[in-house]
Amino acid sequence: MPQPPLAPRTRIKMCGLTREADVDAAIAAGADAIGFVLYAASPRGITPARAGELAHRLPPFVTPVLLFVNASLAEVRAGCAAVPGAVLQFHGDETPEACETLAAAVQRPFLRAARIPLDAAADFDLLEFARNFHAAQGLLLDAHVEGYGGGGKAFNWSRLSTNVNAHLVLSGGLTSANVTDGIRCLRSLGLSLAVDVSSGIEALDSNGQPQKGIKDAQRMRDFVSAVRQAEV
């Protein structure tokens, strides 16, 4: 008898890492990509030199990703020089032309963040966004909050229903408690679906709030386990 097709494996990016121990823990947990924030205004921001030190710990087939917000070509070049082989992630107000120009200048693929309204996901035209950023390797679906980044907030996934001819990365407020539902909700929306987590794997302070840039190994393992549950 023919065997049923295997469920697609969901790729996992862990972002906002700042410490060697956290990089090692993310690799051990099974992360496919590690994100370094090269945006000085972010509490998770690090310098290109520091990103290079951390990326040096990555084994083969774990991809470094450099997150930029409205960066200049000089800043992108500096990041790429420090982290050879990195994928670029544009998370600001970059136009399609700016993304393509910057990526071409350093000969790297890029991801483009789509900032989805928290309570009005249905009003976001993902199809048009995908057309505009057709040169992106993938589109990262994040929540639109004040500033740049999701701020640990999740948009209403169920309201985002337009199928697109693009690889998608679900982000924004993901934790081990909700990522299984997020994957099951959106995995047929695009060509493939990956996930990107930051605050959901951070160590918690005495008030239960994430310590930005400080990750927790057990929360990383719990997150990976929850992602795998979505593939069962």
Report the CATH number that the domain containing residue 65 is assigned in CATH. Answer: 3.20.20.70
Cα–Cα–Cα angle for 231, 57, 88, rounded to 5 degrees: 65
Sign of torsion over alpha carbons 198, 204, 210, 211: negative
Quick check: is 90 in a domain? yes
Tokens 């929540």 correspond to 143
pLDDT of 72: 98
User: Model confidence at 156, in pLDDT bands (50, 70, 90)?
Assistant: confident
- The β-bridge relationship of strands 63-68 and 138-144 is unpaired
Quick check: is 138 in a domain? yes
Higher pLDDT, 157 or 148: 157
Quick check: is 7 in a domain? no
Q: How many helices (H) and strands (E) does the chain have?
A: 7, 10
Residue pair 135/96 in contact (Cβ under 8 Å)? The answer is yes
pLDDT of 7: 67
> Is pLDDT of 183 > 60?
yes
Quick check: is 48 in a domain? yes
pLDDT of 143: 86
- Which residue range(s) make up the domain with 137? 12-229
> Is pLDDT of 144 > 80?
no
Q: pTM (2 decimals)?
A: 0.94
- Mean pLDDT across the stretch 142-163? 76
- How many domains in the chain? 1
pLDDT of 161: 73
> Is pLDDT of 194 > 60?
yes
> Is pLDDT of 150 > 60?
no
Quick check: is 205 in a domain? yes
pLDDT digits (tens, 9 = 90+) for 29-74: 999 999 999 999 999 999 999 999 999 999 999 999 999 999 999 9
Quick check: is 56 in a domain? yes
> Is pLDDT of 147 > 80?
no
pLDDT of 155: 85
Quick check: is 6 in a domain? no
Quick check: is 3 in a domain? no
Output the average pLDDT for the chain.
93
User: Model confidence at 142, in pLDDT bands (50, 70, 90)?
Assistant: very high
